[in-house]
Structures are given as structure tokens and as C-alpha cells.
Chains A and B, each alone.
Chain A
Amino acid sequence: MTRHDDTLGVILAGGSARRMQHREKALIELDGRPLLRHVQDRLAPQVSQVVISANGDPNRLAFSNSRVIADLRDDRPGPLAGMEAVMTAVDAPWYLFVPTDTPFLPRDLCTTLHHAAGDPATVAIAASGIHSHYAVGIWPRSALTAIQAALDAGSHALRDLLAEHPHRLGRFAISSTGIDPLFNINRPADLARADALLTPENRKVDRPMATLLYFAWIREKIGTASEQITLPDEVDTVAALMGFLRGRGDRYADALKGEQIRVAVNQVHAQPDDRIGNGDEIAIFPPVSGG
């Protein structure tokens, strides 16, 4: 996962949550933590920093340790006012807006949207399956004028602005088990479903996995020819993987020392800064001399 230092992460937490019986969505607990925390944990590693767009008493969101920015206009409900307020208060080249009710945000959300934004870069909105998720998108700073114009004209719906404003779609796959990473919680039943999706078995599906193959003395010292591992967020290159493996214990450290060891990703010899990701097969082998 890449951190995009040119992008400010913004959690839009101003919704009125009519369908959640007026309980503030940001504070609804899932797996023992407020929903906003789930979103923040997923968002923070991808962006320069996270701020929250919300109105009312900011202290109720103090647990986030993030700056809370209130709307500039009190007569325009909806995310546009929040977006305007943040873009006015904080100057950044890009803003990644997400709602507070999407606890399974993809770890590559920011990167995928930036790729989708293209050249010359436009707004990029997230899509999954047949749906576009208007509240999940990256916006360049230059879009502030369009947002202000829409608000001045009396509009407050993102959908209406996007009908006029050029944008591209960044697509996210629904997992093979039917989990939509942009799944959002609108009704109590959704909350129950999200809770079910967080069981350890389902958690594994959501995490990037890699298959490791060990050869020759590396296999002997580690004690297995192959294993599947979950890739921690920061393990996204060959070098990071080797460091991670060495840190797993003495057997690994002993097996993987020395500069003779070669690594192949998906059967192609790889360099230390080559990227690795979900589903990759990584072979680790030394030169052998017996004859």
C-alpha cells in the first residue's frame, strides 16, 4: 500500500442517518469500535493525514485525534457543504473523501482512484459492481470552485454535481465471496451483516495473502517447502517481505541471511524494490553447487 502525501483524507461524518433511527453513524459501534474508527484505520495509511467533516460538538469525535471541520454554510445539508468547508480550511493538491459508514474500505483505495483520475487528472469516483459511490472519491483542489458554484446555485446533492462535472470511475472488485469493499451501513440489518463479515474466517478473505516457496537449504532451515502468509500492510515489496520473514524467528533469520539468496515473484526473478501483493507466489532460492 502506498501513502499518497499529496492527498488529504476526509471522512464525511455529517449525515443525519435517518435510517439508523437518528443514531449518529460515526459513533455506532462495530466490533467494539466506532464506525468512524474503522474508516479512519483504513484511510490513514493511504493519505497524508485524516480530517473529519462534521457539525455539532467536536468533542464527541475527540477519540479520533483528527481535526474536525464544521460546514461553512448551515443551510445546506449534504456532503457538498462538508467538502467545501474542508477544501477551504486545508490546502492540499488532492482530497480523498469517504463516508463514515464504509468499514471495509480497500487498502488500495487512494492508489486506484489516482490511477483512475488519469491524465489530465479529473475527479475519480469509486465504483463497485453496478454502483457508483458518489461519496467515495478523490477531488483535485481545482474542483472547489465547481463545488462552491453548485452550493451557491442551491444544490446540495453530490449526484447532481457529478452529473455535470467531468469525472472518471475507479473500479473495485467485489470479492469472490461476495463482499463489496465499498459496502456501507444504512440500516440496522447492514450493521448486523458487517458484524458477521468481521468474523476471523471472513477477515482472512479481506486480507492480502501470498504463497511462499522455499528451496534447498532455505527449505531445510525453515522446515517447510511452502506456506501461505497474510501480507501485513507495510509488506508490499520484496525487500519488505524479506525483512518481515527474517523477523519471524531464528529459523527464518538463519535461513535467509546472506546475499546469495534470490527471490522470484510469480516465477520471474525480482529485485528488492519490486512490488508484491495479494495472490502472488514468491519463490526464495539460493545457488546450489553439488554435482
Chain B
Amino acid sequence: MPRLTERSLQRYSRQILLKEVGGSGQQRLMDATVLVVGVGGLGSPAALYLAASGVGRLILADGDAVERSNLGRQVIHTTDSIGQNKVRSAARTIRALNPEIEIVPVERHVDRESLPALVERSDLVLDGSDAFSVRYLANAVCHQLGRPYVFGAVSGFEGQVGVSLSGVESGSPCYRCLFPSVPQPGEEHPTCAAAAVLGPLPGVIGTMQATEALKILLRIGTPLAGALMLFNALDGITRRIGFSADPGCSVCGAPVESNTPGGQAS
């Protein structure tokens, strides 16, 4: 990983001035790899700010092409990039912003087969996907492989953001501790399915996700672990909902003994 050059120090000077960051913190970011799943509404600001802040390597994964309807909020893409794979489009914007960082492009959606290897190569996973199935998958893989998992979601005028450190800290809850039942397609509210959202909302939430990622990488502050942030932009209401690990969680709960007395199968 590159050492901080004079130009890097200028680039990141405002951040380095923070006593919680300093030169050593900045170097830590330079040495870090973050997997950003999805470069859409949430992934756009997240990837931009992670790049701007000097995370040394970004693995970007997305199988979609840029569409005109994305440009109302997915600010990493440009009109020129319509039709291009989103990762390729994002990489171009990021390179123009900060050529010092390395981009590892994965021009496909992650899935059960491909995700573990990508997580293995990362220090942290930031989820910018728009499907519950990906969230539950990423939450589980991050737990199994011991990586911090930063999740977020938007709908309408609202957003949610939080962190799972279940794979990193014993007793810390995961996403599934709070939302144990996976919504089936069709059970989701129409607004979610139609993806109606006010432009800046994913910007707010995705940027908060990037902030959480930086906190975790820098080991500063209190990450939103066991604390779901609810944000209602329309009415100006934010709440930080505390929740604890569920011992019966199917992802991070206590392992079930397969040979329990009485011969019960697990």
C-alpha cells in the first residue's frame, strides 16, 4: 500500500488535522480495503466519500448499467455514462476525484458464490444494495468471516443506517437480531418496490454509511453497532434505536447443539 506523499497530506489535510485521525489514521485508511456492494443510490455517495477520504482500495460490485432514471440521485454517475456498467462509470468519477486509490471492479451483482471471496479480501463491507436478500446474505457472510458490516436503506423521505460488528466483537448484534424474518418479495411495501425516494436521501444515508466505515477503520468514536439510526427527513425526526444480540438469532446466536438430550434434531 502506498505511503502518504506530500500531495496526499495536502489532499487529506483537513481530515488529518483531526486529532482522532492524524497521520497514523490516514495511513490506516490508505492501507484499508472496503467492499462497496452496489454503486446505486447508497453506493454512489459512499464510494465517493470513501475515495475522497483516502481509503486505499475500493472493491466496487454492481451488475447494472447506468440508466437515466438513476441520475436523479446516483451522483457518482454522469449523463455520459448512461448505458455503461455502474462500476465502470463510478470508477471513472472516482479516478477524476482521487487517482491515488486503487479500484477493483466487479461488474456483476454479488451472490452466494461470489460474495465470500470478496469479503475475504476486504477489511469492511459497506452495503449499498437495494434488496433484502443481499442484505441478509452480506450480514451472514460478514459475521462468518469476521468483518464489520455497514448497512443502510432508503425509502421515500426516510432512511435507516446501522452497523453489525457481530463477527468482530463477541455479543454484538447483527442485522438479523433486529429483523429476524426476511420479507418475501411481495411483502415489501409498494413504495419500496417502486423505489420512490427524494434525491438527497440516499446521499444522506450513504454518506452516513461512509462515515461509519471510516470510524470503524480508524477505530474512533462509537460505531452504530446495536444502534439503528432512523431518519425521517420529511418531518425532521431522527432516532437512535438501541438493540441487543438475540441469543436465538439464526446468524449470530448461540450455536444449536445437534445432539441435544432427547434426540432432538437441530
Contacts and interface: CB of A to CB of B under 8 A. Distances in A.
Contact of B155 (A225, A264, A269, A288): A288
B154 A290 contact: yes
A289 B191 contact: no
Interface range on chain A: under 10, 10 to 19, 20 to 34, or 35 or more? 20 to 34
A262 B179 contact: yes
B1 interface: no
Given A225-B235, A291-B38, A283 B241 contact: yes
Contacts of B128: 291
A268 B242 contact: yes
A264 B241 contact: yes
A217 B191 CA distance: 7
B38 A289 contact: no
Contacts of B156: 216-217, 220
B149 to A, nearest CB: 14
Interface in B186-227: 187-192, 195, 197, 202
Interface residues of B, number: 44
B242 A290 contact: no
A260 B241 contact: no
B121 interface: no
Nearest to A258: B187
A216 B195 CA distance: 12
B241 A216 contact: no
A285 interface: yes
A223 to B, nearest CB: 12
Contact of B183 (A220, A225, A260, A290): A260
A172 interface: no
A225 B232 contact: yes
A260 B179 contact: yes
Interface of A: 213, 215-217, 219-220, 225-226, 258-260, 262, 264, 267-269, 283, 285-291
5 contacts: A216-B158, A269-B242, A285-B230, A285-B241, A290-B202
